[in-house]
Amino acid sequence: MRADRTPMRGERTPLPTGFRTRPVGIPAQRSAEAVLPAQVGQTTPAVRSRPVPSEALKRWLDVILSCFLLVMTAPIMLTACVAIVLESPGSPIYRQWRMGKAGQPFQIIKLRTMVPDAHRIGPELTQDRDPRITRVGSALRRWSFDELPQLVNVLAGQMSLVGPRPELISIVQTYTPQQQEVFSVRPGLTGWAQVNGRDDLPIPEKLELDREYISRRSTRLDLEIIARTAGVVVSGRGTKR
């Protein structure tokens, strides 16, 4: 989770200082034979990759499921927006630049869970029990409701329901060529790393899991991740609040 920054009304959120508009390089496709780690730091014999799901089918599932989820969660988001505004001034929505597919930046949409301009009074990365997190924000993070507006990003084609989580531009500029493989697919609302540790994992381990997902991705795996995400959300594991 990252420190919230609430833009003023009418303000256009700028790209981070020093951001390079040139897309981040995309490494060559991996071979059909991939070595998949049983756990981070361990390897198993070469395993044949599963068939890559059709992009058209994946996009179709993204649109259908996102529309359904937006309708179902609209009352939650509306209630959350009212609670956010009542507790602290400022917009209940905030946008932040993240890196997307092919190294193209986009603005991720979230419910604000911190005090306004939290980035000015603390580190860029959110800490566990961060004092900038509001009481409403803590509850939203506990149930991951702050991520629900990203369904709009999915409908816009900037994200997918399942894929590597998009990171801050300042962080992705430190990626190795191998780690940049995560830019070969759309970032996701949830992903393989999210159901295998989430924020409890350091970034390098998340990236290893993301690369494993890319080599194994299939419609069946996507549906498995979506199903497992429900259990992770209910348990509250890996959240900073």
Question: Token digits for 163?
Answer: 């894929």
In a domain, 20, yes or no: no
Cα separation, 182 vs 36, in Å, equals 15
In a domain, 3, yes or no: no
Specify the amino acid at residue 18: G
In a domain, 9, yes or no: no
Q: Smallest Cα–Cα separation from 67: which of 146, 159, 152?
A: 152
Cα separation, 16 vs 9, in Å, equals 19
Distances (CA, A) of 81 to 10, 149, 209: 19, 11, 33
Cα separation, 45 vs 99, in Å, equals 32
In a domain, 10, yes or no: no
Overall domain count for the chain? 1
- Residues of the domain holding 62: 50-235
Residue 21 confidence (pLDDT): 45
In a domain, 5, yes or no: no
Q: HSE (CB half, 13 Å, CA atoms) of 64?
A: 6
In a domain, 31, yes or no: no
Each of the 241 residues of the chain gets a pLDDT tens digit; together they read 555 555 544 444 555 555 554 444 444 433 333 333 333 333 333 334 455 668 899 999 999 999 999 999 999 999 999 999 999 999 999 999 999 999 999 999 999 999 988 878 877 777 778 899 999 999 999 999 999 999 999 999 999 999 999 999 999 999 999 999 999 999 999 999 999 998 889 999 999 999 999 999 999 999 999 999 999 999 887 676 5
Residue 49 confidence (pLDDT): 46
**The whole model's pTM is what?**
0.78
In a domain, 21, yes or no: no
